[in-house]
Amino acid sequence: MSQQEALAQHSKAIYSESAQTYGDDGARHDSDDEPMVYRIPKDYATIARQERDSLLAECADPDSVILQSELHNYVPRRENDSADEYTKRYADTMMDMVCRGVRILNDMLTGDAMPDTFGTASGKVFDLGPESGSTKGEYREFKRWLWGVQGAEQIEVPEKWLKFEKPAEGKKINSNSILKLERRARNRSLVNLLPSFLRLELPHPN
């Protein structure tokens, strides 16, 4: 399985997991009028260890299930490694493991970070960050709308989303669409959106 195929296999899980975080079933929620929260604390360390113990108890191959905190053991430092060189080898090793079916359980994150800037294939940019005044309900509804128009070269922006639209020129966006998130899985700002066993943070070499 290629890296692209491995990530594409989980592309819908990215949106699904994000949706589940906010109960995105299309129904009205009591919290819809509350300000959007962009970081959600979560004890990934305990979750990862419990998941590994469960898999090993089911007779999984110990080499097929590792914790992220153990990943550096598979990527030894080389003399005169630059930060970019080491990070690239780390990411390449991680993706090679994923393609071989190794489950990398993240025991290092302390919470989920939600994206605040979105783009479309037609070049439109939307900022739903802390300064936008976005509510939880607006955030959920906007992502449902964006999911529905992903890939379209021309889209008509509903009036209620015009307040979030920003000039594309000079604006850094996280992805062209939700479906393209997996193509930039190595971008630190997007890593938290991956399914749990891919939700990794790249190292900071000295």
Residues 124-168 have pLDDT tens digits of 889 998 889 999 999 999 989 988 887 777 888 999 999 999 876
- Domain ranges for the chain: 3-17+41-112+179-198, 115-178
Q: Of 4, 57, 28, 13, give the one whose Cα is nearest residue 197.
A: 13
pLDDT surpassing 60 at residue 108: yes
What is the pLDDT at residue 111?
Answer: 82
Q: Kindly calculate the radius of gyration of the chain based on its CA atoms and give it in whole angstroms.
A: 19
177 neighbors 117 (Cβ within 8 angstroms): no
pLDDT surpassing 60 at residue 181: no
Higher-pLDDT residue of 98, 178: 98
Q: How confident is the model at residue 198 (pLDDT cuts 50, 70, 90)?
A: very low
Average pLDDT over residues 38-50: 89
Would the pTM of this model clear 0.85, i.e. be above it? Answer: no
Average pLDDT over residues 4-29: 48
What is the pLDDT at residue 55?
Answer: 94
Q: How confident is the model at residue 24 (pLDDT cuts 50, 70, 90)?
A: low
Q: How confident is the model at residue 62 (pLDDT cuts 50, 70, 90)?
A: very high
Q: Of 7, 18, 5, give the one whose Cα is nearest residue 128.
A: 18
Average pLDDT over residues 95-104: 92
pLDDT surpassing 70 at residue 98: yes
What is the pLDDT at residue 97?
Answer: 92
Q: How confident is the model at residue 192 (pLDDT cuts 50, 70, 90)?
A: very low
What is the pLDDT at residue 25?
Answer: 59
